[in-house]
């Protein structure tokens, strides 16, 4: 397991950004449960989606930092997990289409190949636009 201090990219002033909501912020899950926001969990999900792709851990850390900073700027201490998932989807789609499809298949709980095919077709059609 990667320590949180390793996961964070250095800040210009050498300090770390405060965690969301002072104590980490709450993520509201689909089933109503609440968990502390965990940047490591976000990093692990990105790492799984990008496995065997040519994407550096530093790039993944930058995505985690970017999402965490966006959540912090929102000023909210309670964040729906779906909102975080959508933030990840946007960034992965721009970064790597294969990683995006991998993440989407889990995040959107695809049940069959038709759902995967539709998502791939959407990615390909947006590429042509």
Q: What is the pLDDT of residues 45-54, one digit of tens each?
A: 999 999 999 9
In a domain, 56, yes or no: yes
Domain containing 38 equals 18-128
In a domain, 110, yes or no: yes
Question: In the 8-state DSSP scheme, what is residue 54?
Answer: S
In a domain, 99, yes or no: yes
Q: What is the pLDDT of residue 12?
A: 38
**pLDDT bracket for residue 4 (50, 70, 90):** very low
In a domain, 10, yes or no: no
Phi, psi of 91 (to 5 degrees): -70, -40
Residues above pLDDT 70, as percent of the chain = 81
Phi, psi of 49 (to 5 degrees): -65, -30
> What pTM was estimated for this model as a whole?
0.76
The whole-angstrom separation of Cα 54 and Cα 56 is 7
Tell me how many domains the chain contains: 1
In a domain, 13, yes or no: no
The whole-angstrom separation of Cα 18 and Cα 25 is 11
In a domain, 1, yes or no: no
Which residues neighbour 65 within 8 Å (Cβ) at sequence distance 6 or greater? 8, 9, 17, 39
Which residues neighbour 47 within 8 Å (Cβ) at sequence distance 6 or greater? 57, 60
In a domain, 122, yes or no: yes
In a domain, 5, yes or no: no
The pLDDT tens digits of the residues spanning 77-115 come to 899 999 999 999 999 999 999 999 999 999 999 999 999
């Amino acid at each position: 397991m990667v320590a949180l201090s390793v996961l964070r990219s250095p800040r210009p002033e050498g300090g770390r950004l405060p965690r969301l909501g002072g104590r980490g912020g709450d993520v509201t899950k689909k089933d109503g449960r609440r968990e502390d926001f965990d940047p490591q969990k976000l990093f692990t999900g990105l790492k799984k989606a990008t496995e065997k792709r040519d994407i550096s851990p530093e790039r993944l850390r930058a995505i985690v930092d970017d999402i965490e900073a966006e959540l912090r700027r929102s000023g909210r201490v309670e964040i729906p997990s779906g909102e975080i998932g959508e933030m990840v989807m946007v960034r992965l789609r721009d970064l790597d289409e294969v990683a995006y499809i991998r993440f989407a298949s889990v995040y959107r709980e695809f049940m069959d190949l038709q759902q995967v095919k539709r998502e791939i077709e959407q990615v390909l059609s947006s590429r042509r636009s």
